């Protein structure tokens, strides 16, 4: 086997290892306001009351409030929330995209169902999670919620998340993100550090 083939195999193995870097944790909602929100320091939260810019949503034309029958307000949610699915007046799916990517994303998952699917796309892989994979709860139990956290590992950034449901609805609220700085931000930081270094050097010379 030549070196080129060995390099390809090594590269593929490294990518496979890196693709497992996304870690997931869930905090079950226990009735306190704190556990219905992110516990990650530095995260920016969107509760939809009002909408906070944390990324680009594909369709925010139909936010939901209360329990209209075809959707149920997640336990721990107040005011407006996001719902997708084939029932009622809601989008069939919803995608939230991040500019330069995110190192962390979390959200309140209402009544996690087997027919709810969350797809997380990173620069390395695509991951799909159903309600059953996130929490062990009976389908359609409106009293059950979980706060799901997704954290990217070294070399990985979350590019987008997509909510889909093949029945009834997939209800979510309290989205939170830690965004990766845009390249322009890094450039400004480097320029600022260079300017500080230049000024400090001039002072030493003088």
Does 14 reside within a domain?
A: no
Total domains in the fold of the chain: 1
Q: What pLDDT, on a 0 to 100 scale, did the predictor assign at position 89? A: 87
Domain that holds residue 116: 22-200
Whole-angstrom distance, CA of residue 56 vs CA of residue 53: 8
Does 15 reside within a domain?
A: no
How does pLDDT run across 6-20, given as a tens digit for each residue? 232 333 333 444 445
Those residues whose C-beta lies under 8 Å from the C-beta of residue 122, and which sit 6 or more positions away, are 22, 101, 152, 156, 157, 158, 159
Does 122 reside within a domain?
A: yes
Which CATH number goes with the domain that contains 88? 2.60.120
Task: Give the residue-averaged pLDDT of 177-197.
Answer: 58
Does 6 reside within a domain?
A: no
Does 205 reside within a domain?
A: no
pTM of the full predicted structure?
0.79
Whole-angstrom distance, CA of residue 141 vs CA of residue 195: 58
């Amino acid at each position: 086997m030549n070196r080129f083939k060995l390099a390809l195999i090594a590269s593929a193995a490294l990518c496979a290892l890196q693709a497992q870097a996304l870690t997931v944790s869930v905090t079950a909602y226990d009735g306190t306001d704190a556990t219905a929100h992110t516990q990650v320091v530095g995260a920016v939260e969107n509760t939809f009351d009002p909408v906070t810019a944390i990324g680009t949503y594909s369709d925010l034309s139909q936010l939901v409030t209360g329990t209209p029958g075809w959707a149920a307000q997640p336990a721990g949610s107040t005011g407006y929330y996001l719902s997708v699915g084939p029932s009622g007046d809601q989008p069939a799916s919803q995608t939230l995209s991040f500019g330069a990517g995110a190192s962390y994303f979390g959200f309140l998952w209402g009544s996690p169902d087997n027919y709810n699917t969350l797809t997380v796309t990173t620069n390395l892989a695509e991951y799909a999670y159903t309600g059953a994979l996130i929490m062990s709860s009976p389908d359609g139990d409106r009293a059950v919620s979980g706060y799901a956290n997704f954290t990217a590992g070294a070399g990985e950034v979350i590019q987008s998340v997509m909510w889909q449901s093949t029945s009834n609805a997939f209800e979510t609220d309290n989205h939170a993100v830690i965004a990766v700085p845009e390249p322009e931000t890094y450039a400004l930081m480097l320029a600022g550090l260079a300017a500080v270094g230049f000024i400090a050097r001039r002072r030493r010379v003088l």
